[in-house]
Amino acid sequence: MEEKDEWVFYKDIDWDCPKNNRFSVDTRDFHSGYHFSEEQHKDIRIIQKYDHFFCTRDEVVKILDRLFDGSGGKGGWRCLILKTNDRRFKNWSLKYLRIYRTDKGFIICDSEHKAINKNQLLSCEIDQELLGKH
């Protein structure tokens, strides 16, 4: 997948392309930028012990589909917040989902590159009251 001038809708991303291993999904419209980097995730030594931080390609797509559809689907923009006490899901913490492809699988992170347990992304309810979808 060659780099483009514009970000690409997440459903059009080739998650397995060897030319890219870093993805930033803007949850306001679910478009993504992508590139290749030799750098590993800053906490890889810690999180590699825990399988719940690693996703398959299908799990990444399932999570993004759930968040996109649950936050109103196609639209101009939205503010994605999940109902939980975990501050990684409050305010604009999920403005970007930072996704790293590794040998063990994909790591999904918040805007600040803090790894997120995939089960939380699959189970936490989307806050419809604060959604702000337009």
DSSP string over 57-123: HHHHHHHHHHHHHHTTSSSS-----BSSS-GGGSTTTTSEEEEEE-SS-EEEE-TT--B--HHHHHH
Write down the pLDDT at residue 3. Answer: 67
State the pLDDT at residue 78. Answer: 85
**pLDDT in single tens digits along all 134 residues of the chain:** 776 668 999 999 999 999 999 999 999 999 999 999 999 999 999 999 999 999 999 999 999 999 999 998 887 788 888 888 877 677 788 999 999 999 999 999 999 999 999 998 888 888 887 665 55
What is the rounded distance in angstroms from the CA atom of residue 95 to the CA atom of residue 116? Answer: 14
> By the 8 A CB rule, do 69 and 27 touch?
no
pLDDT of residue 130: 63
Confidence at residue 89, expressed as pLDDT on a 0 to 100 scale: 73
How far, in Å, CA of 34 to CA of 8, rounded?
A: 9
> Residue 70 in contact with residue 121, Cβ under 8 Å?
no
pLDDT at 9: 96
User: How high is the pLDDT of residue 18?
Assistant: 95
